């Protein structure tokens, strides 16, 4: 049964380029002052390294240090935590979005749409499953960064309540980032969380964040200040979601199709 509310805290921060220890220290420091009533913490894409195209130098196994660190933090604070990192498995590398719960259980999603303009598809294997996670009865669609540009992959068949997009989205393309997050919320009648990094990466690419938590009508519940390390927080309400879907049930008129 879905809980009446779900407290979401998303961390917009400056990722230290390919420096896992510094990034985990930064996140740990922020966790000490996370918003009250947090149920789910959301971290950016490749939160431990930045958007690195050197997976051979930074990949970990699923029983590696960073995943175990996530489990320890989730247990310590009694929250769910999710974010993407570089994982090595079956002789391939994945940009893997991982959700851990306070008891150590985890779910995973491998990024489907790899960013060809940075050569991501030459270094990483694509995911091939569209998955739904569950947190306190809330159905969650995990996506990663470039997935945001492909609306068919996020099409809501009334099987999820919230879509989450961790990202390393450059400042020079922040208008599409901000616009598409709100479009995904409106067209799918769902809550959306988009959490992006700030600061320059190792390639000199600037990121200004513009993270946001958005309601099913496309309105901002909390939008981050650009270029600032900060938490954004919102309490998602199941009653609001149901009211919006009941008062304007356009998803019942959606086209019927299946992905090949």
Residue positions annotated with a catalytic role? 45, 111, 145
- Partners of 163 in the β-ladder: 141, 192
Q: Are 165 and 82 in contact, with CB atoms under 8 Å apart?
A: no
């Amino acid at each position: 049964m879905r809980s009446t509310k779900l407290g979401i805290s998303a961390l917009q921060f400056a990722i230290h380029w390919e420096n896992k220890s510094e990034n985990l220290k930064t996140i740990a420091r922020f966790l000490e002052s996370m918003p009250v009533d947090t149920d789910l913490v959301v971290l950016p894409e490749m939160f431990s390294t930045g958007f690195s195209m050197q997976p051979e130098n930074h990949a970990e196994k699923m029983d590696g240090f960073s995943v175990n660190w996530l489990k320890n933090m989730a247990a310590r604070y009694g929250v769910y935590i999710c974010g993407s990192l570089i994982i090595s498995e079956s002789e391939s590398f994945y940009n893997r979005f991982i959700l851990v719960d306070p008891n150590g259980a985890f779910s995973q999603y491998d990024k489907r749409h790899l960013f060809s303009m940075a050569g991501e598809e030459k270094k990483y294997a694509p995911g091939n499953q569209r998955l739904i996670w569950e947190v306190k009865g809330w159905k969650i669609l995990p996506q990663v960064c470039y997935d945001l540009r492909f609306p068919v992959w996020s099409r809501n068949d009334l099987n999820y309540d919230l879509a989450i997009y961790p990202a390393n989205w450059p400042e020079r393309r922040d208008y599409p980032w901000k616009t598409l997050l709100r479009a995904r919320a409106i067209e799918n009648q769902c809550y959306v969380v988009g959490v992006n990094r700030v600061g320059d990466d190792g390639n000199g690419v600037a990121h200004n964040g513009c993270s946001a938590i958005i309601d099913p009508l496309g309105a901002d519940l909390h939008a981050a200040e650009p270029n600032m390390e900060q938490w954004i927080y919102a309490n998602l309400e199941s009653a609001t979601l149901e009211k919006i879907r009941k008062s304007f049930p356009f998803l019942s008129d959606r086209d019927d199709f299946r992905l090949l």
